[in-house]
Amino acid sequence: MVQVFKDARKEAFLNQEGADRPLKSPIAPSVVEAARAYRMGRLRQKMAEHDCAALLLYDPINIRYAFDVTNMQVWTAHNAVRYALLLADGPSVMFETVAGLPLWEGVDAVDDLRIATPWLYMVTGDRAEEFLKKWADEIADLVRTHGGGNTRIAIDKCEPAGAFALRDRGFDILDGLELTERARAIKSADEMTLMRWTIRVCEAAMARIYENSLPGRTEQELWAEMSYENARSGGEWLETRLLACGANTNPWYHECDDTVCREGEMISLDTDLIGPYGYCADLSRSWTCGYTAMTNTQKRMYAQALDQVTHNTALLAPGMSFAEYNAKSWRIPEASQAYSYGIALHGVGMADEWPVVYLHHINEENAYDGEFEEGMVVCVESLMAEEGTESIKLETQVLITADGPERLDSFPWEEV
């Protein structure tokens, strides 16, 4: 029975043309183009709602959302060398590295492509203030030219010196993260087509891990299967390295190392995968090493985790407030509360996103107002453990529709 179950997963989720081949996207370019146009429209809509003359973007995920052009996404997330400026009543301007300029050939989304002026110390040294002045003067000139007298600039990320320099030039600085998170929260049908394909790639990667979940394999060896399948199928990166076995699963957040997995131990993982087209597949599963039958304790923990995910998924509906959702959510046993994940769900798009709804027993001190809307995608989470047990990590990705929740992933739960 175990072998049949294992083979069924392999047949269903690995490339049916052969596990030695990458998955190839069937998505037409017109779908990608429509998603790009929708995303730019969402940003401009939110700029109008917030009465912003300009939106300055440094986060590479937000730049990808706006223009769909990437350049060293992980590296530029912590090295501020490229940025974009959207003018409410003017052009979209991309400031790119010199080496990155060829990436923009044939891209219609940007109206004005310029060479960036980075001013971080790593690349400017003791001339940082000189380059900061040049940067701020250029931004200020564009906003004054196209802003119609509006001095409000929303910024998603910026080192303090940059915000101070723009403020000294007479501009009001707003939190651009609220604007961009709200824009990204509602997905179009074309975005969902792209996200579904990332989930397809992610589940093929999970199938590779499952196929190799044998005694003697290390956590790192198993996680490498995730990286391999994602990279060869056009994916981009993994946000974490969350795969653990046995005692390493509790407490959670142990990232994979050279620990050898032993027969019968739980293997728990959280994908956090940024796949093709820049979309995220954030799924979690747990199973036993060597496909053994679960112990009674493992079964009990797993059944509780699955109950939580199933119950909390079924609640989702447009118009439901976060507070109502929390009040109706599955109640975690007291013995597991100290080991729980902290959140009941979070948004997801090109990465983990707003909103975050906290678990019932910690919600009072962390809760904020809001309600679910049609077109949101959320990941419903569970982490179930007690003192001295292994952790069971389960998570499903869900589209909120007018008719209720639609699960986007299909990789099977374990049979308990």
Q: What is the pLDDT of residues 256-315, one digit of tens each?
A: 999 999 999 999 999 999 999 999 999 999 999 999 999 999 999 999 999 999 999 999
First to last CA, the chain: 13
pLDDT tens-digit map of 76-124: 999 999 999 999 989 999 999 999 999 999 888 899 999 999 999 999 9
Mean pLDDT of the region 22-26: 93
Q: pLDDT value at position 305?
A: 98
Q: From CA 339, how far away is CA 359, in angstroms rounded?
A: 12
Mean pLDDT of the region 322-330: 95
Q: Do domains 2-26+186-407 and 50-185 have the same CATH topology?
A: no
Q: For residue 5, what pLDDT band results from cuts at 50, 70 and 90?
A: low
Class of domain 2-26+186-407: alpha beta
**Which residues have CB under 8 Å from 37's CB, separation 6+?**
none
- DSSP run (H or E) holding 307: helix 296-315
Q: From CA 299, how far away is CA 150, in angstroms rounded?
A: 60
Q: pLDDT value at position 362?
A: 81
CATH 3.10.580.10, domain 50-185, yes or no: no
Q: What is the DSSP letter of 286?
A: E
Q: What percent of the chain has pLDDT above 90?
A: 90
List b or e across 384-414, with b for residues whose CB sees 16 or more CB atoms inside 10 angstroms.
Answer: bbbeebbbbbbbbbbbbeeeebeebbebeeb
* Sequence ranges of the domains in the chain: 2-26+186-407, 50-185
pLDDT tens-digit map of 203-233: 999 999 999 999 999 999 999 999 999 999 9
Q: Is the pLDDT of residue 194 over 70?
A: yes
Q: pLDDT value at position 239?
A: 97
Q: pLDDT value at position 108?
A: 87
Asked if 346 and 357 count as a contact pair (C-beta separation under 8 A), the reply is: yes
Considering the chain, what is the average pLDDT of its residues? Answer: 95
Q: For residue 234, what pLDDT band results from cuts at 50, 70 and 90?
A: very high
Q: What is the DSSP letter of 321?
A: B
Q: Is the pLDDT of residue 10 over 70?
A: no
Q: For residue 1, what pLDDT band results from cuts at 50, 70 and 90?
A: very low
Mean pLDDT of the region 50-78: 96
